[in-house]
Structure 1
Amino acid sequence: MTRNNVDALTCLAFSPDGQKIASCTTSSGVAITDISSKSKQQLDMLADAHTHVTAVAWSSDGERIISALPDNTIRCWDVISTRPVGLPFRGHKDLVLAAAFLPNSSHAISLSRDGELLVWDTGSGAVIQQVTVSNAAQTIFVAALSVDTSLLVTSDTKEAVAWQIPTCAQIAEIPLPDIPLLQAAIIPNDCPRVVLAFGDRSFWVWDVNTGKHDDARFEGLDENDIPFAMAASPDGKLLALEIDGDGDRPTHFYDIKGHELTTSDIKCIHPFAFSSDGKFFAASSVPSDSKDVFCNLIVRSVEEARKLTPQVQS
């Protein structure tokens, strides 16, 4: 069946207070939704910039938003006026995979697919630091930036590397098995951990400080199930995993040991986001099987998923 009009969500980000969420779609740009009132306002983006916003993030004071656009530029926006602040940030030569304000909001960081990590002055839009995080012959396939922007994990076809932000210093290389690494998510706390999901339905919980990892496996998956998207709650007790091509129940919820939680009525697909306080989970609705396809924003209480019972296999 051919779908004429598809309006899919491309990325999500909660405000620092967890009360609002910025969502991006392929045809209407960036919208800001108030969770309690359900009110929505649209950033004043030009029509030719609406398609495929690849990253979005809030400043620590909740007053500004940055978005990465398909022309490899980054724009800064005033949340109240919904107008752009200054000129586009130019410096990337490839698709921007991740972008975020640093805690002081006067600087931002972004990573492009060709492995260039840039630190920006958000007032002038100038690049103040540039680090290549991948060999020239490689392309970044997996990238994860922690919610507090203190840790970045990147992986090409050969290795995964953990980077300290904002110094852009390499913390450690993560030796990978001879199995494709498909997804990564970061659990930020005093002892940060990285969840690495592989093509054989196994995953590691890698400790940044010790360099050691726990092996686990996502239970309840078939041999051909491929992890397509993943997110971890801030406390690391809940993992959301989308399975590629599973139309009936694309997203599964797990505890950190890989035990699947009993089925909830949260039928959703990526992009995923957890609020920094761990209270809310956001995702995209599953597109309807109709001529005109629209994906709606879904926001649910994390407590709803926490009350589910792990299906521990004997």
Structure 2
Amino acid sequence: MSTADALTCLAFSPDGNKIACGTARSGVTITDISSKSKHQLEMLAEAHTHVTAVAWSPDGEKIIIALPDHTIRCWNATSTHPVGSPFAEHKDLILTAGFLPDSSHAVSLSRDGELLVWDTRRGVVIQQVTVSNTTQTMFVAALSTDSSLLFTSDTKEGIVWEIPKCARIAEIALPNVPLLQAAIISHSRPQVVLAFGDRSFWIWDTSTKKHDDARFEGLSEDDIPFAMAASPDGKLLALEIDGDVNHPTHFYDMKGHEFTTSNMRCTHPFAFSPDGKLFAASSVPSDSKDGIYKLVIRSVEEIIGRSPLDVRSRFM
């Protein structure tokens, strides 16, 4: 993997034992976390090898990837062979995609605001909804790890959609501050974390329709949130700061307090494992002798200096 072949996206398998990494030039690599063995998905000759999104099916048997040509392709995760024909119903860049619980259907959202639910075996659309009008492009979007909830926004409003019904279940008026990042925490009380350009963030409870305000401590006026991920239990946030070369990614609790004990230097893409015990990300190139982007996997306990169970959440 050359320096230009950076990691572009990653996803843990449902059992947390493997991780699929999309790259800028080499397609997708599947890594077994315990044995560290790796293998590549068999890319079709005509397929782009730049991967913009990757997701596992809940049964762990299939992987879908999104490509710059607006197509989505499905692979058998074990044999690494393609399954079916490319899904080519989108007309713009695909922002996010994921499987539904039955592992046979998927949902995907493109930048033009088209949300599609489709059969991965036949490549047939079974549901289509326009979640943003044609005069606007999607500003921020986030899909929950179980694909049950989708958050979309324009400059004025944030909306949560229930999947696969594609029904609006909650709306929130956004402040006159740029919304830069969003992450969904889908547990018994679904919440959406919204990070803004003034270093503030909201934790929006979509059941009560209320939100709490907080601020990321220790950030200056020039620090802009570039990427964000929330742990499955809703207790930790990983936040990458644009332009922070020395320490790009910071870890916070849900009140905005930073875990200053963290010594993990990493950059996006990043993700928490399904059980919240592991965190995976791309290395900072300067940390390797050859300047190459590499997959880094660390335990959350090691990163923050304590067990994730010991982290107090404002929702406990």
Q: TM-score range by the shorter chain?
A: over 0.9
Contact 1:6-1:293 within 8 A present in 2 as well: no
47 and 226 in structure 1: CA distance in 2 versus 1, 3 angstrom threshold: farther
Q: Displacement of 1:30 after TM fit?
A: 0.3
Q: Which amino acid aligns with 1:201?
A: R
Alignment equivalent of 1:59, drawn from 57, 60, 65: 57
Alignment equivalent of 1:83, drawn from 73, 81, 84: 81
Check if 1:104 corresponds to 2:102. Answer: yes
300 and 289 in structure 1: CA distance in 2 versus 1, 3 angstrom threshold: closer
Measure the CA separation in 1 of the matches of 2:57 and 2:249: 29
Contact 2:251-2:304 within 8 A present in 1 as well: no
Check if 1:281 corresponds to 2:279. Answer: yes
SS at match of 2:285: coil
Check if 1:260 corresponds to 2:254. Answer: no
Contact 2:16-2:274 within 8 A present in 1 as well: yes
Q: Displacement of 1:136 after TM fit?
A: 0.8
Measure the CA separation in 2 of the matches of 1:181 and 1:257: 18
Q: Which amino acid aligns with 1:276?
A: P
**Counterpart mapping for 1:95-134 below 5 A:** 95-134=93-132
Query: Which residue in the other structure is 1:7 paired with?
Result: 5
1:151-193 C-alpha deviation (Å, 9 max, x unpaired)? 1101122321110111110112111110000000011101011
Alignment equivalent of 1:246, drawn from 244, 264, 269: 244
Measure the CA separation in 1 of the matches of 2:96 and 2:291: 26
Q: Displacement of 1:293 after TM fit?
A: 4.5
Measure the CA separation in 1 of the matches of 2:17 and 2:261: 27
Query: Which residue in the other structure is 2:184 paired with?
Result: 186
Q: Displacement of 1:63 after TM fit?
A: 0.7
Q: Which amino acid aligns with 1:186?
A: I
Moved over 6 A (4+): 289-292
TM-score by length of 2: 0.93
Contact 2:156-2:175 within 8 A present in 1 as well: no
Q: What percentage of residue pairs aligned between the two structures are identical?
A: 74
SS at match of 2:80: coil
**Number of paired residues?**
307
TM-score by length of 1: 0.94
Q: Displacement of 1:264 after TM fit?
A: 1.9
Measure the CA separation in 2 of the matches of 1:10 and 1:24: 5
Q: Displacement of 1:289 after TM fit?
A: 8.6
Q: Displacement of 1:263 after TM fit?
A: 3.6
1:99-138 C-alpha deviation (Å, 9 max, x unpaired)? 0010001110000011100001111011111100001111
Measure the CA separation in 2 of the matches of 1:287 and 1:305: 19
Q: Which amino acid aligns with 2:119?
A: D
Segments of 5+ residues of structure 1 without an aligned counterpart are none
Measure the CA separation in 2 of the matches of 1:292 and 1:68: 29
SS at match of 2:85: coil
Query: Which residue in the other structure is 1:144 paired with?
Result: 142
1:50-78 C-alpha deviation (Å, 9 max, x unpaired)? 44311110011101100001110000100
**Counterpart mapping for 1:191-230 below 5 A:** 191-230=189-228
Contact 1:31-1:43 within 8 A present in 2 as well: yes
**Counterpart mapping for 1:18-57 below 5 A:** 18-46=16-44, 49-57=47-55
Query: Which residue in the other structure is 2:174 paired with?
Result: 176
Contact 1:44-1:83 within 8 A present in 2 as well: yes
25 and 47 in structure 1: CA distance in 2 versus 1, 3 angstrom threshold: farther
Contact 2:189-2:207 within 8 A present in 1 as well: yes
Segments of 5+ residues of structure 2 without an aligned counterpart are none
